[in-house]
Structure 1
Amino acid sequence: MDDVADAVGVSRATISNAYNRPDQLSAPLRREILRVAKRLGYPGPNPTARSLATRRSGAIAFMLDAGLSAAFSDPALSITLDALAAEVDPEGHALLLMPGGDDGGPRAERVLAAQADLAVAYSLADGAPALRAVRERALPLVVIDQPVVPGSARVGIDDRGGAVAAARHLLELGHRRFGILSAQCLSTPRGGPLTTREAMRSRFRDNRERLAGYLETLAAAGVPATDVPIWETSGLSREQAMSGAAALLATQPRPTALLCMSDELALAALAVARERGLSVPAHLSVAGFDDTPPARWSEPALTTVRQDLVDKGRTAGRLCLDLLAGRALPKPTVLDVELVVRASTGRASK
């Protein structure tokens, strides 16, 4: 560092700012410092020494509810994560991905040992042990979607409102026989048919909110919850959801409309309908949730509830930066949703 400072004719503090606080320097001066540093073979401040000096690791622990392969099979996560990273990366923060397990989040001991300045909970289950570990470490916490944790910053969406819109749309098309394809609830045993009571005990808040939105809207139109079969999928991938969609379509009388708690589940339902020779939407209407890119590319294009995943990720990133800067805890942010009607829904068959 001394050699670079002498060569450029500035102080050691200015050299440090070029790497750690670039906003404190003019762009030309920073470029000159980096050019000279490269010529002299100086790689920049030692990250370990910097961490010890600042008591900051520069890392944000991003906690998932499932393993990496399962989690990243859902495009909604990839879009949200990319937007969050775009917010925090320019400020020098890296993401430490922490895959989840069988209890709706990472193992507590992994969180306790993680070198991180802040934790992000991405759609974790209620009571996940990872949340207890965050609390024990007194780490600042940002929650995306769920659960509701006192003392955390949170960004989520109007899950119930989106479900109401999807159910109402299908009712207006004349449908009265419904099935619900649910995301995992962490039921025991996992995966399979659920009663309404069992489904409403899901450890995931968004499941409960969406289910309530569906069933309350249907009940108000004269379709009782006892007439609506519910099937829990045990994972997040399309392949795992196909058996659930097949089971719903095998019930008698067969549903004319499926309400799916994610686009991936809805795309699985479309695949099963094709296998069974059911025309969508002539014989079956399918509605998803999220409006990920595959929803627009599917055949037919998927009617779904759109949430702004990019805005959600960016908002979470800004919340991370606010907490790391010691700013006051903001009120929870709830983003609006909207129903996007495409070709996968139509009038109920006679």
Structure 2
Amino acid sequence: MPGFLCDCWPSLEIRALLCAMGCIQSIGGKARVFREGITVIDVKASIDPVPTSIDESSSVVLRYRTPHFRASAQVVMPPIPKKETWIVGWIQACSHMEFYNQYGEQGMSSWELPDLQEGKIQAISDSDGVNYPWYGNTTETCTIVGPTKRDSKFIISMNDNFYPSVTWAVPVSESNVAKLTNIYRDQSFTTWLVATNTSTNDMIILQTLHWRMQLSIEVNPNRPLGQRARLREPIAQDQPKILSKNEPIPPSALVKPNANDAQRREVREKSITLEITVSRIKSAPDPKHQLWNPEGIKRNKKQKTCTPNVYHTETYMWQTETEHTVSRQTLKVCEATVAGQLKRTIS
């Protein structure tokens, strides 16, 4: 967004900082030889030395684009005498995530990874959702089919960044009035360079990287569109770390679900009238799964219970302290009173 940098630091100071932090981390020179004679000649990793860009062109959402994390490796695979297939590529997992969007005194929304947050898993797969466990299947991997008679030399590379849209207005609210005041995001990742024998499932970790992306955007919703948001520190990202000692890959980083499918959206609002339509599908007539009407909530339809293989939709209106939980893999509904709040969970 034009002019947002000058609200943070003088542009010359920013350019100096970005240049100082923009060096590429690399392990080169002496080649490293692993089991099966696999050789890693060079590994590079960096985050582009540019600030996060902000786009206010839409009256509905704010968009931002973070700098790219980039990694590449030059690998040599020795001749494969047998009829075997090897895949060399990048595997990535998210080990930490904080992602909050604040709407002033109206409340906040967040994206959360429950199992990771509760410590049930150490990391969650960041695969493309198709080619598990690999981050992707174009430049991110190389497949060598044996038998081969000579060395196979290749470069594999990957990149990653964030480019989301955040609503100006409070989510699940019918109002279109801009209330967004702050965006905060802090995520950490581990990225592994791995060679796998698909015939034996033998997996060799060749390199381990750590990287982190931090973001803070301050928003004044009362200012004209195009002048609302400004980037706060950190302007430049810390560069990735290429570890001298490899780390094991947690089992949860190799299987479904990936981070995009597992993340759950939380929306917390205060003293606001809401109207939400919810669909139920094929629920057994079990009381614990029945729609329940707590005292004080006015409903515009009579109480309904769930019957097998029956679809129905109901609309609710209330004014209270509320918390809404929405998952991407979602079609169940339950309601409960927790600490004086009404909590609706769709998971």
Report the TM-score when normalising by structure 1. Answer: 0.23
More helix by proportion, 1 or 2?
1
Q: Return the structure number with greater strand share.
A: 2
